[in-house]
Amino acid sequence: MRKPALAALLCLTALPVLGDEPLIEDAVARLATDGWTIAVTLRHPDTGWDHYADGWEVLDQAGNRLGFRKLLHPHVSEQPFTRQLNGVRIPEGTKTVFIRAHCSVDGWGKREYELDLTP
């Protein structure tokens, strides 16, 4: 009885520890002459170059990508942090877009942030 329990415990401890997915805390949109400017505030337990939030995207209701913001470095000591993307082309009449963040280790987050574009 002890050996199976010990083996099960060792298997569990051998699994990699995964961090939380990036969490979008806030987003704002402003219409400019060259398209929309989207500013996103996100939080992620960045540990350094080996594991950090490395981007976010703007999607329409059908899941089509309207814009992508690559994050070029970890933000270990700057949490949460805000970055913007300029010139996002959003089709006329679109009232809502969705934003989701990406992690260098865990990929795309499961949670999407709904951003209302109506004034």
Tell me if 42 is assigned to some domain. yes
What pLDDT, in 10s, does the model give residues 48-84? Answer: 999 999 999 999 999 999 999 999 998 888 889 999 9
pLDDT at 19 over 60: no
Q: What domain count does the chain have? A: 1
**How far is 66 from 47, CA to CA, in rounded Å?**
29
- CATH classification of the domain holding 60: 2.60.40.10
Tell me if 14 is assigned to some domain. no
Tell me if 12 is assigned to some domain. no
Mean pLDDT value of segment 95-105: 96
Tell me if 97 is assigned to some domain. yes
pLDDT computed for residue 8 by the predictor: 46
**Residue written as tokens 């009232």?**
95
Tell me if 64 is assigned to some domain. yes
pLDDT computed for residue 3 by the predictor: 52
**How far is 85 from 16, CA to CA, in rounded Å?**
33
What pLDDT, in 10s, does the model give residues 102-111? Answer: 999 999 999 9
- Residue range of the domain that includes 102: 20-116
pLDDT computed for residue 41 by the predictor: 97
